[in-house]
Amino acid sequence: MKQLKFGVIGCGEISAATCIGLAASPYTSIAMLMDTRAEALADLADLYSVPTTTDPDAVFTNPDVDAVYIATPHFLHVSLGIRAAKAGKHVLVEKPIATTLEDADKLIMACDKAGVKLGVAYYNQVDDGQRQAAELVRAGVLGDIISVRLNAAANKPASYWQGGYSQRVKADWRTSKAQAGGGILLMNVSHELNAVRFVTGLEVTRVYAESDTLATNIEVEDTIGVVMRYANGAIGVIQAGSAMHGGEYQTLGGPRIYGTKGQLILNPSGTLLKPMIYMSAPAEGSNPGEWKELFFVGKAADRQAIVEGFAKAVLNDQQPPCTGIDGYKALEIVLASYRSSELHQPINLPL
Ligand SMILES: NC(=O)c1ccc[n+]([C@@H]2O[C@H](COP(=O)([O-])OP(=O)(O)OC[C@H]3O[C@@H](n4cnc5c(N)ncnc54)[C@H](O)[C@@H]3O)[C@@H](O)[C@H]2O)c1
């Protein structure tokens, strides 16, 4: 079987997990590992027996590399992605695509110009449950969408800000407005914004946000509330925080989508739960008034699904499941929310 050979750029917390997927998928393989810190390379080099380097040019000039997977701090995604594109490598970039819309545009245009594919590593478009949910919603099973609710009550430990959950790499970029671009909304909720956009096809047209850093010694927000208006008139709310003691006790699942006939609860991104559906009106496979798991063929998305979805698209010369434009759109809602909070006024989209 033809494989897409990846150069991995940035070998920290998430790359260690992504490499498992790259090695497991019949569609992908690891050709080279790169990180500016040699210590982040040692264990992965042992595991995968591939060449390593601390110089990104060694990846860009390596003829064995077809595509790069970029999993660095956010502010570096675009400059590395553009260099890869110019070298003729396909680009799978971790979320968020960039920290500004101007930068996101530059990366999208550089990949277009170079004739290489650009994908963003969100789970939703390759999650079979969310794909089935998208088909149902777009077929009108829920009726008209009237409301959306996104909740992310995380209780991130102090150590997270100095080295992520795993402490694999000690670094404080997640605390920095310039390097991370944002806090919980950008870092985590952008997955769910991408999910709702993918499942409903609806664009956000206005946001009003209140955002602050109330309980953590960091530059980015740790507490945020956003009200969103969608193109069809639906109204959405986001409540998110990274210092929420007790976390999500007894809250079921991810984003909720409310229609005139029923409700859908998506699985939180990257979890193996199944979406749940509730129909008030009679519908095939559903008894009115009963919650049930969505039936779908396939599996919930993991790291392998992300890299495999991208690789299949490149190998078949198709659009990646989550495109640069999808990444741009998720980022736009986040940045509009930050601007709204700074200016204390509603912000219309597109920006
Ligand atoms: N899709 C997901 O669910 C998910 C989960 C976690 C993180 N992420 C994303 O993955 C990216 C990385 O996050 P992380 O948690 O792995 O961070 P991390 O700090 O653990 O790892 C980042 C790595 O990049 C390296 N690096 C820094 N500058 C570099 C450069 N110029 N060239 C090459 N490497 C460089 C660092 O040395 C480090 O090893 C972020 O975009 C983050 O949002 C995605």
Looking at the structure, tell me whether residues 291 and 175 fall in a common domain.
yes
pLDDT digits (tens, 9 = 90+) for 10-68: 999 999 999 999 999 999 999 999 999 999 999 999 999 999 999 999 999 999 999 99
Quick one: 50 and 116 in the same domain? yes
- Within-domain flag for 327: no
215 & 288 share domain: yes
Which of 22, 32, 35 gets mutated to test ligand 1 (max ligand atoms within 8 A of its CB)?
Answer: 35
Q: Are 297 and 128 in contact (CB under 8 A)?
A: yes
In this structure, the answer to whether residues 150 and 8 fall within a common structural domain is no
In this structure, the answer to whether residues 45 and 186 fall within a common structural domain is no
Same domain, 104 and 136: no
Measured CA angle at 34 (ends 304, 125), to 5 deg:
25
CA of 315 to the centre of ligand 1 (A): 26
Torsion of CA 197, 200, 202, 207, to 10 degrees: -60
Q: Which residues, listed in sequence order, are joined to residue 307 by a DSSP beta bridge?
A: none
pLDDT at 248: 80
| Cα–Cα distance, 201 to 292 (Å, whole number) | 23
**94 close to ligand 1 (CB < 6 Angstrom):** yes
Same domain, 264 and 138: yes
6 - beta bridge partners?
30, 67
pLDDT class for 300, splitting at 50, 70, 90?
confident
Which residue range(s) make up the domain with 143?
128-299+332-348
pTM exceeds cut of 0.85: yes
Ligand 1 centroid to residue 103 C-alpha, Å: 18
Q: Are 249 and 151 spatial neighbours (Cβ–Cβ below 8 Å)? A: no
Task: Tell the burial category of 15 from Cβ atoms under 10 Å away from its Cβ (0-12, 13-18, 19+).
Answer: buried
Are 86 and 172 in the same domain?
A: no
176 with 289, same domain: the answer is yes
- Using the predicted structure, report yes or no on whether residue 298 has a pLDDT greater than 90: no
Q: What residues contact residue 153 under an 8 Å CB cut-off, 6+ apart?
A: 239, 240, 241, 244, 246, 247, 248, 251
Nearest ligand 1 atom to alpha carbon 37? 37
109 has a pLDDT exceeding 70: yes
CATH number at residue 61: 3.40.50.720
Number of domains in the chain: 2
- Do 143 and 225 belong together in one domain? yes
Ligand 1 centroid–CA 137 distance in Å is 34
Residue 135 sits in the same domain as residue 106: no
List, in sequence order, the alpha helices (H) in 96-222. 101-114, 128-138, 160-163, 177-180, 184, 190-200
Same domain? 294 vs 318: no
For the Cβ of 270 lying below 6 angstroms from any atom of ligand 1, the answer is: yes
Q: Is residue 113 scored above 70 in pLDDT? A: yes
Cβ atoms of 258 and 147 closer than 8 Å: yes
Ligand 1 atom closest to the CA of 269, numbered from 1: 3
Task: Please report which confidence band the pLDDT of residue 271 belongs to, taking 50, 70 and 90 as the band edges.
Answer: confident
| Mean of all residue pLDDT scores within the chain | 96
Mean pLDDT (whole number) for 288-300: 88
Q: 3-state class of 194 per DSSP?
A: helix
